[in-house]
A and B are shown apart, each in its own frame.
Chain A
Amino acid sequence: MRLYKKEGNTIQILSFPSDNVEKGDYLLIEDPRVNKKLITQVIDVQFASVPGLLEELLRDSTTEQSVHGEVFDPLEVSSHINHIQDAWMLLCKIRGTIENEKLGVNVSWLPSRSKSGIKKFSIPSLLTHMINNGNLPINIGETKEESRFTINAHDLDGKLNIVTGKKGTGKSHLSKLLVLGLVDCGATVVVLDLNGEYTNLGFSSNGEKNEYHDRVHVLTPGASLKVSLAQMDLKVMLNILVHALNLPGTSTREFRRIWRSLQQRRAFTLQELGEAIRSWNCNSHVRDALFSRYYSLLNSGFFTDNVAEATTFEKFFEEIRKGGALILNLRDVSSVDRQIVVEYTLGKLVELLSQWKIKAVFLFAEEAHLYLRETYWDDIVTRMRHFGVFTTFVTNQPDTIRENIYRQADNIFLFNFTNERDLETVSRAARVDSETVKSIAQDLPPHYCLVLGKVVKDFPMVVEVRAFDVQTMGQTRLFFTDKN
């Protein structure tokens, strides 16, 4: 391999197929004169633009189609010519330097073109140069060199993460791995499980209970997740009415008064609320509006007057104090009810965090655009983060996540995307250049993921996500399964 060109932070390296370099590989350019090494990552492998190649190919194509013959080449010069034809140009991005065996980001120097040696730099070797921030490893999978690839739970702590990729590439699988990895590290995890994919995390693939069984609690709204009005904070209730049920302003004001009156009477039941609305002295339109919302709350099945039946998050969080996950199974829950549940849950989380009843929560949100209201996006990356809600968004539609989320994301676990628009969206992430995202993600095979951000100290790495023995629920139900 020879250093050919440098433009900005892009380096072009002449290579040959025998070098066996692939996209995502790291190369070390070592300049012996200055005793410095430049770390670069291959983001694209192209054919070298060799002069005269077009003539060569035209001539060969003539030969292939209609002309047959032999070549008498006793010196076997042709093999050298073919070698030149197959030459590669590796497009690499500069990621850092190694100076005195220490990893650095100072890339203000340029290695010698004639003197520098270039060799492959394995990910395990790169990882040995990185400073370890802690000792809470989460085993994600394997690197190309078949060495174990772990991230540190500390690098997810207080961070905003995105897991994205097109359908069937393994995003949910990775997020389950992260959930269980965090649970292993003693973290509290809440999953907004849109399709009920996480509900069997406590079972092995053979249906038996696994080591996580007692640490994973599945809450299904209307069944195992019900709340009483007494547990509700007015603010949370107003959020539900305004954002999930679109209650107009005037009616909201009246509801606030009704709620206060119930509060004074200590009569927080659904029946009392219905009675209060009926007897409340207000405009009939307001009453109608309040009644329609009241029936929506009633029909959601999420609310109960039976205190024994009501779920207390505090109890569950206490149970998983040493690490566990609460799975909110939103499968088969209507869009409005889903929003009601999420509004309540997030409100409750903030309440518990602000009262220091729980330390912090890792929130996993699958396809969040389907239940997260507009104003929550900013809230999640700013206010809620400070309270201790560290969110991981999981989506196959990257454009449903706002641009500012990408810009502020600390870690991105990127699976394959072929659609350029999707790649364009993800490439807005601030932690990596857009070329890397577009070029590498496009060619990732299923279950391979490009890890970007703090977990890899901003050295993008391609990882094959490992398999694990958990009963999966994310598989699509098929019609023709039995016909094979």
Chain B
Amino acid sequence: MKNMEGEYFQPNKIIFNQTATENFEDATPVLGTHDSFTMESIPLKPLLDDTPVAAIDISSIKIGETETGVLCAIRGAIVWKKKNRYQYLRLGPFPFHLTEENKKEIYNIFRRYSFKVSEYASAPSLLNMQTRIGNLLERWLQLGISCSAYDSVILWDGSLTAGTVDSPVNAISQLLEIARNRLNTILAFSKTTNLRLLGYRLTDLVEKSDPPCLLQINGFPIPSGPVFPLGNVYVAKLTHGICSFRLDIDKKVPRERGIEAVQKLLGSDLLIQSYPETLRLAHIFSTFTATEVIGIQRFIAQQYGLKIIARPNVRRLLFGPFGKGSEG
């Protein structure tokens, strides 16, 4: 941050009530129609054994622009439920001034901690840096929880798809293995999914099943290319209501243990609209509100003497009232 003292900065125009950029949840490409599959509905019974449940989520948001780069902030949240009590740890907000000069250093610091790798990787473009460092922070938190929790259900926001730049297969496999070794089960909930079967959205297929249940789809083709699913894909309908979610369970966890973990979740956590409360709280605690964005802008302006400037909106200049949408 210190590399920007005295610079001018253009605060980002936040579209209020819009949540900050989240880590992408569904890296699996859209699947075409496929006829060699089977669907199995698995009824669930809550297991009331008070299993600890932990959830991780992060948010990142663009705060503004400077003459030399981008200002963004990230924040992580870990929520756990133990003995009928929710607790949380919020980390951040951490503001960053990302420039062409420092992006590689920042990116690799995050990689080193999150993936335990020492070799330098080239940094993404400034445009993608915010998302990338957010995802790396999330992996680091996931790693921390996997290492510290024992015999727990760990909830991730997103899928267990690996093979992307943010989720190297080796790193994610290693993360899952650490969790397995400590008898933890990772359940990854995706709020949205692009997966479709016979033209239907995957999460719509469970509509007629009685909750709580899982819908297992057998015979999904393993996509070619770098993207690799490390989990079995289910559709989870855990309560009555209109919502169901894609649920990925670590492939290397025996099927029964995976289903048992969902049943433990049912018995140990509160579920509203099929979504675990622990994960919902993690999302709430990490998300940036508009007030916080203003607060961070104030912090940056005061701490580093940034002068706020209003850059003309090109779209507005060119198209007047028709120049809607973000600039660019």
Contact = CB atoms under 8 A, between A and B. Distances in A.
A75 B17 contact: no
Contacts of A62: 281, 284
A72 B17 contact: no
A101 interface: no
B220 interface: no
A85 interface: yes
B302 interface: yes
B285 interface: yes
A70 B295 CA distance: 19
A68 B281 CA distance: 11
A77 B304 CA distance: 13
A56 B291 contact: yes
Contacts of B281: 62, 67
A61 to B, nearest CB: 11
Nearest to A70: B89
A55 B20 CA distance: 13
A53 B16 CA distance: 11
Interface residues of B, number: 31
A59 interface: yes
A8 interface: no
Main DSSP-derived SS at the B contact region: mixed
Given A59-B284, A67-B281, A72-B92, A84 B295 contact: yes
Contact of B289 (A56, A68, A73, A82): A56
A77 B291 contact: no
Contacts of A56: 289, 291-292
Interface string B82-108: 000111111111110000000000000
B289 A55 contact: yes
Given A69-B87, A70-B90, A51 B290 contact: yes
B299 interface: yes
Nearest to B94: A75
A70 B80 CA distance: 12
B291 A81 contact: yes
A81 B292 contact: yes
Contact of B93 (A59, A68, A73): A73
A52 interface: yes
A83 interface: yes
Interface in B32-56: none
Contacts of B296: 77, 80-81
B80 to A, nearest CB: 9
Contacts of B251: none
A50 interface: yes
Nearest to B292: A81
Contacts of A75: 93-95, 299
B175 interface: no
B86 A66 contact: yes
A478 interface: no
B298 interface: yes
Q: Counting chain A CB atoms within 10 Å of each CB, which of B16, B90, B93, B289 scores highest?
A: B289
A55 B290 CA distance: 9
Contact of A68 (B17, B85, B94): B85
Given A67-B79, A72-B92, A84-B298, 7 more contacts: A51-B294, A52-B17, A55-B287, A55-B290, A75-B95, A75-B299, A80-B299
Q: Which 4 pairs from chain A and chain B are nearest by CB?
A: A52-B290, A81-B295, A69-B88, A52-B289
